[in-house]
Amino acid sequence: MAGLFATLVVIWGLNYLAVRWGLSVAPPLWLALIRAALGAATVGAWLATTGRFGQLDRRGIRDALLVGIPNTALFFGLWFAGAVAVPPGQVAVLVYTFPLWVVLVSALGLHYRLRGIEILCLLTGFAGVALVAQPWGTAGGVIAPWAIGMLLAGAIFWAIGTVLFKLRFHGPSVHEANFFQLVGGSAALAVAAIALEAAPTTASETLVGSSLWLGVLGTGLAYGIWYELLDRYRATTLSVYVFLVPLVALVASVLLLGETLNAVQLVGVALVLASIYGTGVVSARVQGPPIAPATAP
């Protein structure tokens, strides 16, 4: 488990740097579309090669396509749009408030009863977000408020998509369902990108490299590793360690891109990571809401 999970964490963590590089040469919705489409193609090729198509009926395919709207289109679109104005490490921290939103979605939509420790984790996590964003700062805050809103909205839609996905799909069908949710998300992103943005005019090395990382490694390969782990271990066990992904992204961004955080932001990051870890521990010990992500971040 350790080797596979370490590989997964590094790939997902470096996704945030690949997004930053891709955004330097492509509009956010087009980059999100490229990632989702390449991911769908990679997953589809793997399903065809291994003979895993045919697990879903028409209703299952329809439902997977629809789940792709929050789980891929809205998540990727809002994440990439917000990432234009926020350093990658901080993007990862804000996006990875996802487990906290899963708890809230489960409480509001599934009548899941929150425990005291979960409420504490929620309050800790949201306090950490406030310290990272520092909306009380000069010139409207350390991070643009609209970017904060987009990144948190993306995390919320990721949480909604995960809950819907795990309620609807189980067993061998999850692989095919993931393919169709990527297809559905790609279709929605294509409509939005064509309507709202100009397409990239050249396929530069930066665009090709970031696209291949995000689509083939960050989605296609990452899915394969993730579901291999889910076949061997409980999702709640894996969810304890999802806090490592934003940690990898933050460290990599500091080392490779020179990202800096002030003392207040560092405290905020620590609070968010602690809340993510605490939420995962609670989920692993009790029959809690689905915390582990259904799709690649």
| pLDDT beyond 90 at 142 | no
User: 51-100 pLDDT, tens per residue?
Assistant: 889 999 999 999 999 999 999 999 999 999 999 999 999 999 999 999 89
Binning pLDDT at 50, 70 and 90, where does residue 231 land? low
> Alpha-carbon distance 178 to 40, whole Å?
8
DSSP string of 9-68?
HHHHHHHHHHHHHHHTTS-HHHHHHHHHHHHHHHHHHHHHHHT-TT---HHHHHHHHHHH
Residue 216: pLDDT band with limits 50, 70, 90: very high
- pLDDT recorded at residue 128: 92
pLDDT value at position 88? 94
Q: Which two tokens stand for residue 265?
A: 């932001």
What local confidence, expressed as pLDDT, does residue 239 receive?
75
DSSP annotation of 83? G
The predicted pLDDT at position 284 comes to 72
Predicted TM-score of the model (pTM): 0.92
Residue 261 has pLDDT above 70, yes or no: yes
3-state secondary structure of 294: coil
pLDDT of residue 139: 47
Q: DSSP label at 113?
A: P
Structure tokens at 64: 């997977």
Q: What per-residue confidence (pLDDT) applies to 137?
A: 58
Quick one: pLDDT at residue 140? 46
Q: How many CA atoms lie within 13 A of 78 on its CB side?
A: 22
CA 155 from chain center: how many Å? 7
The answer to whether 151 and 82 are in contact (CB under 8 A) is yes
**pLDDT given for residue 295 in this prediction:** 74
User: 296: pLDDT confidence band, cut at 50, 70 and 90?
Assistant: confident
| Angle formed by the axes of helices 2-23 and 222-232, nearest 10° | 150
CA distance 23 to 193: 14
Residue 287 has pLDDT above 70, yes or no: no
Whether residue 59 contacts residue 153, with contact meaning beta carbons closer than 8 Å, is answered with no
Is the CB of residue 161 less than 8 Å from the CB of residue 71? Answer: yes
Q: What is the mean pLDDT of residues 192-196?
A: 97
Cβ(292)–Cβ(236) under 8 Å?
yes
Alpha helices in the chain (DSSP H): 2-23, 28-50, 58-68, 75-82, 88-95, 98-109, 116-133, 145-168, 173-196, 205-212, 222-232, 235-239, 244-257, 263-285
Tens-place pLDDT, residues 162-176:
889 988 998 888 889
Average pLDDT of span 212-218: 94
Confidence of residue 283 (pLDDT cuts 50, 70, 90): confident
> Among candidates 68, 97, 76, 69, which has minimal Cα distance to 23?
76
- Length, in residues, of the chain: 297
* Structure confidence at residue 141 as a pLDDT band (50, 70, 90): low
Average pLDDT over residues 157-165: 92
Q: Average pLDDT, stretch 278-288?
A: 77
pLDDT surpassing 50 at residue 250 = yes
Cα separation, 5 vs 178, whole angstroms: 20
Mean of pLDDT over the chain:
89
User: How would you class 59 by CB atoms within 10 Å of its CB: exposed for 0-12, middle for 13-18, buried for 19 or more?
Assistant: exposed
Other beta carbons within 10 Å of 43: 27
